[in-house]
Amino acid sequence: MVAMSDPDLATLAAALSSESLDQLVTGLADSMVMAMQAVHTPTQPPPAPATTTTSSSSSSPSNVQGPESYLPSTMLPSYISALPTGLEKGTFIAVDVGGSTLRIGVVSFEQDSRQLRYLTSEPLDAAIRNIDGKSFFLWLASQLQSVVYVAEANGWIEEGISVPVGVTWSFPLDQTSVSSGRILSMGKGFAAMGQDIYGWDLRTVFQQCCKDIGLDMDLRAVVNDSVATILSHMQTDRRCKIGLILGTGVNASVKVPITCLDEEKLSRCNPRDLERYAECILNTELSMFGTDILPRTRWDAELDASNEKPGFQPFEMMVSGRYIAELARYIVRDTVLKFRPSSSVPAGLDRPYGLDTSTMSVVEGELDIQFARQQFLARHPCKEGRSGITIDEMKFIKAAFYAVSSRAAAVVAAGILALAVGVLPPSTPPGDGDEIVVAATGSVIEKYSGFRLRVQEFLNLLGQRRGKKIILAVTGDSSIWGAAVAAAIN
Ligand code: BGC
């Protein structure tokens, strides 16, 4: 039987104790309060490229400043103040630039109902992640072109008009208006491109690349995917105050009174909005919180050190789909596989990111250990003639997966609670009580065996102590719906 005596396994388990979770909530809430008050001083951004050719060569502006010239960006205003009512009307193109997929949809809103008429999906593989910024946007424009063609051919969108579009951008963006913003450092393996297009105005480069290929698009709104999540859910549930996205990456948005914004943020809002609206939505960039607060094991430290951007997203590295399987792989490598010759290591487990989050989920979800082992070995076969994974080893692997995913669930719950106590205003309108609905979306929260329930249980436990009732409400396809809602209300 594999020894469970590794001290870092004990650290993983200790993170789940109510005492350390309480401390985590307090620490995160304090750093969120500080981030709300931090003075945000972005330097002058470089202009977007001014070419109008369809050349795919890099055309980065000459005066691009390195990411170090910006402060870390959290608590970013979305400039979404008009909130959805459910009475939105019209047909819109919705673009979802996700961490691993590009999706483009045609969405119609009519009289209290909404319809997704058409949806395409393209993987954002390593080849795409590493092209230069201008080429990426030209590629995006060409994908859009075929969808616009289908929408026009079906009569969903009138030909010859400027096509209304909303974009969900699953990366940090320093918004300057509801439909524009400076592209900030990108995680999720987009390191090269993030550097290349750093500081570009998303609206300018998007519209320009569309124009370059003859597409007339009217970019009405750009929203972060966490903002899209809250918008999508609010259309049908006005109690929603937090949007959570947990898939390849993690993030949360919050609905706060406009008066919560600091002076610098207020000064960047449209004065008309300040007069008309009482609330706005903030993109918290939750992924970046947790430095010196999260309880780390040596595996967390190793994962961070091996990342393109060490220290960039501590919270994300403990909870998101891109990273939890890598943490689990390190644990299996250092325990079950420690003394094995490399020839008998199951396929894939010896290479970075060789274990998939979906495999963890399948193994955890299988009650019969024999069957869990079969499923595991089907994905990670051993060389012929080599002993595979014994039942005892499989039990340990399953327990290790559970430990990593449970800690992720607990940390996510602590993050949500920190937002509820640190960022949401203490008094809610009469009638609302202290019930907070969190719109939740993303592959981990939606598909990982038992994950959502575990987050909800931690929320119940932690919330009870702080007098908050927090309810997770899964909202599917929110990046597409949210982009369309944002385009419709702006
Ligand atoms: C990005 C966020 C995004 C989140 C979820 C993070 O890595 O920084 O902007 O919302 O992933 O996709």
Could you tell me the distance, in angstroms and rounded to a whole number, from the CA of residue 195 to the centre of ligand 1?
A: 16
Is ligand 1 within 6 A of the CB of residue 172? yes
Going by CA atoms, what residue is nearest to atom 11 of ligand 1?
A: 249
CB atoms within 10 A of CB 410: 26
Task: For residues 53-63, give the mean pLDDT.
Answer: 32
Task: Note the pLDDT of residue 57.
Answer: 34
Separation of 43 CA from ligand 1 center, angstroms? 22
Which tokens hold the place of 124? 């954002």
Q: What is the pTM of this model?
A: 0.88
Of 186, 223, 224, the residue with max ligand 1 atoms within 8 A of its CB, to mutate for a pocket test, comes to 224
What letter represents residue 344's amino acid? S
Pairing of strands 173-177, 180-183: antiparallel
**Alpha-carbon span 440 to 446, nearest angstrom:** 8
In the three-class reduction of DSSP (H, G, I as helix; E, B as strand; rest coil), residue 284 is classed as coil
- How many angstroms is it from 243 CA to the middle of ligand 1? 12
C-alpha 288 – ligand 1 centre gap (Å):
9
CA 286 to ligand 1 centroid distance, Å: 8
pLDDT tens, residue by residue, 382-399:
887 666 899 999 999 999
Which residue's C-alpha comes closest to atom 1 of ligand 1? 171
pLDDT band at residue 431 using 50, 70 and 90 as cut-offs: very low
- Whether 175 lines ligand 1, by a CB cut-off of 6 Å, is no
DSSP conformational letter for 179: T
464 vs 53, more confident: 464
Dist. CA 381 → ligand 1 center (Å): 33
Is 171 a pocket residue for ligand 1 (Cβ < 6 Å)? yes
228 lines ligand 1 (CB under 6 A): no
Q: What is the pLDDT of residues 76-116, one digit of tens each?
A: 888 877 788 888 899 999 999 998 899 999 999 997 789 99
> For residue 338, is it left (φ>0), alpha (ψ between -120 and 50) or beta?
alpha
Residue nearest to atom 7 of ligand 1 (CA): 249
Mean pLDDT of the residues in the chain = 87
Residue 482 CB–ligand 1 contact under 6 Å: no
- Is 195 near ligand 1, meaning CB less than 6 Å away? no
Q: What tokens were used for 387? A: 């002993």
- Evaluate: CB of 225 within 6 angstroms of ligand 1: yes
**Tens digits of residue pLDDT in 254-273:** 999 888 887 777 777 777 77
Nearest atom in ligand 1 to the alpha carbon of residue 316 is 7
List residues bridging with 173 in a β-sheet: 183
Distance (angstroms) between ligand 1 centre and the Cα of 170 equals 5
The pLDDT of residue 225 is 95
pLDDT tops 60 at residue 52: no
**pLDDT category, 404, cuts 50, 70, 90?**
very high
* Lookup: tokens for 229: 């999540």
> How many A from CA of 445 to the centre of ligand 1?
15
Nearest Cα residue to 188 out of 102, 95, 104, 64: 102
Give the position, in ligand 1's atom list, of the atom nearest the Cα of 226: 10
478 C-beta closer than 6 A to ligand 1: no
188: Cβ below 6 Å to ligand 1?
yes
Pocket residue to mutate for ligand 1, from 202, 251, 253, most atoms within 8 A of Cβ: 251
| Ligand 1 atom at shortest distance from the alpha carbon of 171 | 9
Mutate to test the pocket of ligand 1, among 286, 287, 289, 443 (most ligand atoms within 8 A of CB): 287
Task: Give CA–CA dist 386/42, Å, rounded.
Answer: 57
* 217-232 average pLDDT score: 94
Nearest alpha-carbon partner for 33 in 298, 284, 300: 284
Cα–ligand 1 centroid distance for 289 (angstroms): 12
User: Which of residues 220 and 60 earns the better pLDDT score?
Assistant: 220
| The pLDDT of residue 474 is above 70 | yes
Query: Nearest C-alpha to atom 9 of ligand 1 is from which residue?
Result: 171
pLDDT band with cut points at 50, 70 and 90 for residue 58: very low
The pLDDT value recorded for residue 177 is 85
Asked whether 249 lines ligand 1 (CB < 6 A), one says yes
Per-residue pLDDT, 63: 28
Q: Which atom of ligand 1 is nearest to the CA of 245?
A: 5
Q: Mean per-residue pLDDT for 363-369?
A: 97
CA atoms within 13 A on the CB side of 258: 19
Residue in the block written with tokens 């550097």 = 195
Q: Is there an atom of ligand 1 within 6 Å of 251 CB?
A: yes
Residue the block writes with tokens 């993987």: 123
Whether residue 287 has its Cβ less than 6 Å from ligand 1: yes
What band does 48 get if pLDDT is binned at 50, 70 and 90? low
Q: What percent of the chain has pLDDT over 90?
A: 64
CA distances from 452 to 85, 412, 463 (A): 28, 10, 16
For ligand 1, the distance from its centroid to the CA atom of residue 171, given in whole angstroms, is 5
Decide if pLDDT at 40 tops 60.
no
Nearest CA to ligand 1 atom 6: 249
Residue 220's φ and ψ, nearest 5 degrees, are -85, -35
Chain mean position to CA 101: 12
Separation of CA 168 and ligand 1 centre (Å): 11
95 three-class SS: strand
